[in-house]
Structure 1
Amino acid sequence: MELKLLHHYTTITCKTLAIADDVSENIWRDTVPNLAFSGASFLADALLAVSALHLRSHTPHDQDLVRASHAYMAATLSEYGTSLSNGITETNAEALFLTASLIAFQSTASRIFTRDDSGDLKDRSDGYVLPLSWFHSFQGVKAVVASSWQWLRNSGIVIPIIEAQPALNLNLAEHENTFFGDLLVGLDEELAQSGEDESPGYLLTRQAYQHAVAVLNWAHKIPQTGAPLVFLATVSRRFIELLESRRPRALAILASYFALLKCLDSLWWLRGVARREVMGIVSLFDPDDEEWWPRLQWPLRIVLYEGDTIPSDVWGADWNDQHALLQQANRNGGFVTHIELLSKMFSAMQNTTSSALRDPLDVASHAEAVLQDRALQASANMMALSESLHVPQVD
């Protein structure tokens, strides 16, 4: 079984882990297995687990593959957790980053075997479960990056993978005139009515919504580059808390996010996800809700569209503009450049903030607040990546 899974990984699965990037595809195919079978057993187990899940997507009822996928991932999580507890070092940083990435893939792909979609808006129930594990696993990747950047920044393995991600180019200064601006309408009034405008967390809540919508607006313009996947790792811890509380605004934002994944439906680990998740989220709303039901119409229209290519007038943006928009964003530096800038700011704030902000997450949140107070584009871009330096607590 192990040889079968390894062969499948190196010949097929590895090609599905990189979106339109030959360099990172070669790394996943050649370099990662070499590193895995040179002593990083948790990485070896992770790639075998993902390979087994990929094969299972073709034969869902093959119990040998079901057991293999679960067993290899269980072994991965056990060894991975132990390695993190022992500390990230120069010698294990690359393997831990790659393992965290494969765990995120596994978490995402496992969802395709869940049948939450009733397919009927009239058949509403409380059975739908939000895929919060997606956020936790992708946030785990950024936690490893934040904790080991001093070594990863010089890695010939990790840097090409990070640079393959489209550079964030967010606009936090404008909200109402953006495509998803209606998701922020009434935010201040909502916070005032709930009394949150007088609470210490008011700013973080407001920023969590604004930042999430800014990422949606950015990814909406370049969806086929894999940009929508960045949302999972870059949203703040506060936004995830709002999702856990099932706040209507957070759920509506999440529905729009999953609709963006419709353009990546050809990937085996995202196949059917857009429709299933949007329909599930919509089932949590009352169709008579005059405030939120109209804001769910775009994600519904997208996931129910039957054609292979969604027209620009339905999508709301012209996909032919993606290349030009990417070039424009890359003029400000790639993903690595932005992480470098925020890493320096993050370190400085850890050294200068009060004892009340000694926790890494609180320091990063403070950095976020400082950056969001600036309306300039450069500040917006930096704030977006300060979220990439949040280190979630380990339960």
Structure 2
Amino acid sequence: MPPRRSHKKSRAGCRRCKVRKIKCDEVHPRCGNCTKHGVPCDFEHPTSTFASSLSPIESPRPMTSSTSNCDSPSTITLPPTPSAESSTPLPFYRNPEPLPLPNTVAKSSRMMELRLLHHYTTITCETLAISSPVSERIWRDTVPNLAFNNSGFLADALLAVSALHLRSHTPSDQELVRASHAYMASTLSEYSASLSKGITESNAETLFLTAALIAFQSTASRIFTRNDGNDSKDQIDSYNLPLSLFHSFQGVKAVVASSWQWLRNSGIVIPIIESQPALNLDLSGQNATFFGHLLAGVEEEIASSNEDPPTQILTRQAYQHAVAVLDWAHKIPDTGAPLVFLATVSRRFVELLEARRPRALAILASYFALLKFLDGVWWLKGVSRREVMGLVSLFSPNDEEWWPRLQWPIRIALFEGTSIPPEVWGASWGTEDTYSEQSSDTSGFVSHIELLSQMFTAVQNGPAPMSNPTDALDRLSHHQYTGRLKGFGSPMLLQSSLHSPH
């Protein structure tokens, strides 16, 4: 047997040769084996990690079970390793280049969006509809799908409401605070831009749903208001009337009025509208009502004002209609009926609030007292107490005319307990007789929106010029609709449609 050839062991070879258990010639900056195979050598890149210097074939492979359904590593086709001159630096990875990883901020934003979307589709959507399984399904399934396919601002709106819902559980979470503000700001910007371009058949549903979510958000934002108006002089002085609620809810009314020709056939909007309790108002003011005392002295007030005769008519109608809505909602508060007040009162009533007329403020206090019945809804929680006490703070306790009329809203707002008894509420709600009375008109919301939409068109296309088309609509609807108002509106339902708050 010939003697074995002597050889010198490589002690300082590159790590690739060591792994392959072959002799390394230790030539720098790249050994002969690495040069021959056209692969990077750790002599060239001494700071790189071992794993990153390996080719795909030599990379460590996870151990797999013999029963695995996965393809064997040997069956995987890898891209060929290109040859290169020794002076040409090679990339660490030979696999196809991966997608760039997002930075920390972008990843954080993605996780926040996933969190908000999950919360909306599993929890928040169930809270937007009161006593309406059909509407609940639309908010849960249809609205997100429509947002993904058609509208960025609708998606932002539902994320904003979801963020507010989460904030109601953890008010100090600054990440949620920033998210709720950012998504709503984006919603309002894009929503306003879309409205300015006009409502069409293609965007009518999206604009309606976005307007509704803005209204929810506007109401929910009030739960983070800290001034009850009854703790200190500073808080009393800082109480702000919730006029934004009227603007947002009447924004929904404006969209409905302007796009009814398309919404009347919508399988999304119509179920939401029909899920609302139909109005059944007595506008005569002659029958005994629970809130009739709020109209006592209205003629003297109007006569002593400096308003011109047409404005006096609008003022009287505004008060009468607002009180009629209170009386109607007072009998069926568990249906969500009180919420209709914000969308149906007239523009003139909002002007009276802005002027802080005592009668308008007292009517508004009674409205917020009605919301006590819905205190279990997260976006209405605490609103009744906070707003009633804030409004009451605007009156002097020595006011002999108005202070006695504020006792009912104060008593309701401060009531402690889960169920308000009929003797405190002032009516037996939820009885079969009550619902029978309120449902006497079986035509539903849709037919009444049709009638009011016709009024809207008549005012817009009237032959005579109108210096104030809103006032003209008030007068037109008062004459045409008085005594038969049972549906989605009021004599002034569409007046703000001509002056969209957005």
Taking structure 1 as the reference length, the TM-score comes to: 0.94
The residue number in structure 2 matching 1:130 is 241
Contact (CA 8 Å) 1:350, 1:363: kept in 2 or not?
no
The residue number in structure 2 matching 1:70 is 181
Change (3 A) 1:334 1:121: farther
From 291, 295, 313, the counterpart of 1:203: 313
Note if 1:19 corresponds to 2:124.
no
Contact (CA 8 Å) 2:365, 2:391: kept in 1 or not?
yes
Contact (CA 8 Å) 2:388, 2:410: kept in 1 or not?
yes
The residue number in structure 2 matching 1:40 is 151
Report the secondary structure of 1:352's partner residue. Answer: coil
The residue number in structure 2 matching 1:368 is 477
Cα displacement (A) at 1:122 = 8.4
The residue number in structure 2 matching 1:278 is 388
From 368, 385, 393, the counterpart of 2:490: 385
Q: Separation in 1 of the partners of 2:312 and 2:163?
A: 45
Cα displacement (A) at 1:357 = 5.6
From 151, 171, 183, the counterpart of 1:60: 171
Cα displacement (A) at 1:239 = 0.2
Note if 1:246 corresponds to 2:351.
no
Q: Separation in 2 of the partners of 1:383 and 1:234?
A: 8
| Number of matched pairs | 389
Mapping of 1:211-226 within 5 angstroms? 211-226=321-336
Q: Separation in 2 of the partners of 1:149 and 1:322?
A: 33
What are the ranges of 5 or more consecutive residues in structure 1 without an aligned counterpart?
none
Q: Separation in 2 of the partners of 1:322 and 1:170?
A: 19
Q: Separation in 2 of the partners of 1:118 and 1:29?
A: 37
Which amino acid counterpart does residue 307 of structure 1 have in structure 2?
Answer: G
Contact (CA 8 Å) 1:146, 1:388: kept in 2 or not?
no
Contact (CA 8 Å) 1:175, 1:184: kept in 2 or not?
no
From 147, 157, 162, the counterpart of 1:51: 162
Which amino acid counterpart does residue 142 of structure 2 have in structure 1?
Answer: T
Q: Separation in 2 of the partners of 1:155 and 1:348?
A: 23
Contact (CA 8 Å) 1:258, 1:274: kept in 2 or not?
yes
Q: Separation in 1 of the partners of 2:354 and 2:205?
A: 31
Contact (CA 8 Å) 1:211, 1:384: kept in 2 or not?
no
Contact (CA 8 Å) 1:350, 1:358: kept in 2 or not?
no
Please, what is the CA RMSD of the aligned residues?
2.0
Cα displacement (A) at 1:142 = 0.3
Mapping of 1:1-395 within 5 angstroms? 1-120=112-231, 125-175=236-286, 177-196=288-307, 198-321=308-431, 324-325=434-435, 328-329=438-439, 331-356=441-466, 359=469, 361-371=470-480, 374=482, 376=483, 378=484, 380-381=485-486, 384-390=489-495, 391=497, 392-394=499-501
Q: Separation in 2 of the partners of 1:357 and 1:381?
A: 30
Which amino acid counterpart does residue 284 of structure 1 have in structure 2?
Answer: L
- Larger CA deviation: 317-326 vs 237-246: 317-326
Q: Separation in 2 of the partners of 1:188 and 1:105?
A: 36
Change (3 A) 1:92 1:384: closer
Contact (CA 8 Å) 1:371, 1:382: kept in 2 or not?
no
- Which structure: greater helix fraction? 1
1:158-215 residue CA offsets vs partner (Å, 9 max, x unmatched): 000011110000001134611000000000011112243x533110011000000000
What are the ranges of 5 or more consecutive residues in structure 2 without an aligned counterpart?
1-111
Cα displacement (A) at 1:342 = 1.6
Contact (CA 8 Å) 2:205, 2:269: kept in 1 or not?
yes
Report the secondary structure of 1:115's partner residue. Answer: coil
Q: Separation in 1 of the partners of 2:479 and 2:262?
A: 27
Contact (CA 8 Å) 1:121, 1:279: kept in 2 or not?
no
Change (3 A) 1:353 1:262: farther
Q: Separation in 2 of the partners of 1:185 and 1:225?
A: 29
Cα displacement (A) at 1:326 = 5.5
Q: Separation in 1 of the partners of 2:477 and 2:170?
A: 45
Change (3 A) 1:324 1:200: closer
Q: Separation in 1 of the partners of 2:132 and 2:166?
A: 23
Report the secondary structure of 2:237's partner residue. Answer: coil
The residue number in structure 1 matching 2:95 is none
Contact (CA 8 Å) 2:236, 2:390: kept in 1 or not?
no
Cα displacement (A) at 1:349 = 3.9
Report the secondary structure of 1:336's partner residue. Answer: helix
Which amino acid counterpart does residue 184 of structure 1 have in structure 2?
Answer: L
Which amino acid counterpart does residue 340 of structure 1 have in structure 2?
Answer: E
Change (3 A) 1:98 1:117: same
Percent identity between the two aligned chains: 69
Report the secondary structure of 2:466's partner residue. Answer: helix
Cα displacement (A) at 1:335 = 1.4
1:279-337 residue CA offsets vs partner (Å, 9 max, x unmatched): 00000000000000000000001111112111111101101326742564353421112
Change (3 A) 1:263 1:204: same
Report the secondary structure of 1:256's partner residue. Answer: helix
Which amino acid counterpart does residue 364 of structure 1 have in structure 2?
Answer: L
Cα displacement (A) at 1:125 = 3.0
Cα displacement (A) at 1:120 = 4.5
- Larger CA deviation: 102-111 vs 323-332: 323-332
Q: Separation in 2 of the partners of 1:312 and 1:205?
A: 32
Q: Separation in 2 of the partners of 1:213 and 1:33?
A: 37
Report the secondary structure of 2:431's partner residue. Answer: helix
- Larger CA deviation: 118-127 vs 211-220: 118-127
Report the secondary structure of 1:96's partner residue. Answer: helix
